Chain A
Amino acid sequence: MEGLHNQVFFPTTMADLFSSWARCPDAVPYAGGTDLILGQGGRSFLLPRNIISLAPIEELRRISRTERYLEIGAAVTLAEIFALGKIVPEILRSSLSEIANPQVRNIATIGGSLCCRRRRLDVFAPLAVLDARLELRTATTSRWVSVGRFAPESGEPLLEKAELLTRIRVPLESWNYNLYTRIGGIGIPTEDSASFSFIARAENDILSEVRLALAGMELIRDRSIENTIVGKSLPLTRKHASGFHERWRDRLNALNAPYPADLLRDRFLNLVEQAVMGLAE
């Protein structure tokens, strides 16, 4: 990042975009830009030297819906997704409503929220539990990956050179239980802030699906623990509920890593307890 600028490209199609990128491989795709300029309080921005503006590309701002999926272009703003109303799964809507403020949500895009290199931003946990899939494109290839694969537990998102996140496909399923909580204060995310998402579905009083994730500096999700209570009758017995909580405690203890730190770990375990006890009552 430098204050000197060489060029800003304004492609209007995906073909234009990849052609510009091929001519200038160090150019940085720029949609809302809220993450790139996060916390820069000075008079002018420190911007990447070369920029590809994604705003003019209609394809990246498209939203479409089928019976089973909601497909969202990567440059769609968080406010536009929220404005779709009840089509959007409740856990994702809860998350969107708590990100920054309405004015910032008019700028920040879903793609930018997923491509942040430093950490997993708030939309990660809901999209992870919804099993959303992401389309990644280069000039010649296209592939779909899960949120968990795109952003492994730690490290930078899985983007190859000159590869762009173009679409987010969110399955439209109904969930009986939704719990979303943002941990930590408002403003710039810190090591102790994270988003917590829990969803569950019951059919004929049998728990058929349970998903739980924490997204902060890393994304934490464990399907084997989720499966320990799938198939159980509702309301859950205290034994099953506390067993689920204990497994998460053991899982975090076994990590033996600096993340999540004690405060966040305790808060997370409290939320796991709150979520699973909601199924036991």
Chain B
Amino acid sequence: MTIEFILNGEDVVVQTSLDRRLIDILRENFKLLNAKAGCRVGRCGSCSVILNGKVIPSCLVSAFRIRGGEVITLEGFSLTDEYQDIASGFSRAGVENCGYCDAAKILAAEALLEQNPRPNKDEVLSAFNGVLCRCTVPRLLVDGVLAAADIRQRRLYGRAP
């Protein structure tokens, strides 16, 4: 089947069988390697991407479901101001980069901040339910997301509310 979709802002076409997972299409056809194929059952979060504006585990999405949609991977997201907010917040809090779960952590933070610009600690922890990597202690993640929220508010409104 030929599937057309938008990938990181570009119109792309891929010839693939319907039963392939989005994660494999991204990694094998487009060589976008930031999303990792971890558990393949939607639990670990390492394959997170943004599909039509929502953060989803790309291991649970079959090829036909991306037809006509828009996919943004961490590679594409890293070119945005929103990414810079989160990267700066994480850096300020001392959240280390992790080769396994960066896509999961950063996109989970973005999904939360997009819906809830001023989350509290419990909301941050709940948003990271689907990120099973243990590279970072939860307290640092909370600090990182709260710092990112603060940075974003300053960027958008010139001040923290």
Residues of A within 8 A of B (CB): 3, 5, 8, 10, 33-34, 37-47, 51, 53, 55-56, 77, 79, 83, 97, 100-104, 106-107, 187-188
Residues of B within 8 A of A (CB): 1, 17-21, 24, 39-43, 45, 48, 54-57, 60-62, 64-65, 67-68, 108, 111-112, 115, 126-127, 129-130
CB-based nearest B residue for A107: B56
**Max chain B Cβ within 10 angstroms of own Cβ: one of A8, A39, A77, A106:** A106
Q: Which A residues touch B129, using CB under 8 A?
A: 101-102
B40 touches A42 (CB 8 A): yes
B40 touches A102 (CB 8 A): no
Q: Which A residues touch B18, using CB under 8 A?
A: 5, 8, 47, 51
Q: Which B residues touch A45, using CB under 8 A?
A: 19-21, 62
Main secondary structure of the interface of A (DSSP, over half): loop
Q: A187–B67 Cα gap in the complex (Å)?
A: 29
B42 touches A5 (CB 8 A): no
Q: A90–B60 Cα gap in the complex (Å)?
A: 29
CB-based nearest B residue for A36: B62
Q: Which A residues touch B62, using CB under 8 A?
A: 33, 37, 45, 47
What is the minimal beta-carbon distance from B55 to any residue of chain A, in angstroms?
Answer: 5
B60 touches A83 (CB 8 A): no
B64 touches A106 (CB 8 A): no
- B1, B20, B40, B57: the one within 8 Å of A103 (CB): B57
Q: A46–B64 Cα gap in the complex (Å)?
A: 13
Q: Which B residues touch A39, using CB under 8 A?
A: 41
14 A-B pairs within 8 Å (CB atoms) are namely A33-B65, A34-B60, A40-B41, A42-B40, A44-B19, A44-B20, A45-B21, A51-B18, A100-B42, A102-B55, A103-B56, A104-B60, A106-B54, A188-B41
What is the minimal beta-carbon distance from A131 to any residue of chain B, in angstroms?
Answer: 29
B64 touches A103 (CB 8 A): no
Q: Which A residues touch B67, using CB under 8 A?
A: 10
Q: A5–B42 Cα gap in the complex (Å)?
A: 24
B126 touches A97 (CB 8 A): yes
B64 touches A51 (CB 8 A): yes
What is the minimal beta-carbon distance from A194 to any residue of chain B, in angstroms?
Answer: 20
Q: Which B residues touch A41, using CB under 8 A?
A: 39-41
A8-B1, A46-B19 known, 18 other contacts, Cβ within 8 Å:
A3-B19, A5-B17, A33-B61, A33-B62, A37-B62, A41-B39, A43-B21, A44-B20, A45-B19, A45-B21, A45-B62, A47-B18, A97-B126, A103-B45, A103-B48, A104-B130, A106-B55, A187-B43
CB-based nearest A residue for B116: A83
B19 touches A83 (CB 8 A): no
Q: A55–B55 Cα gap in the complex (Å)?
A: 17
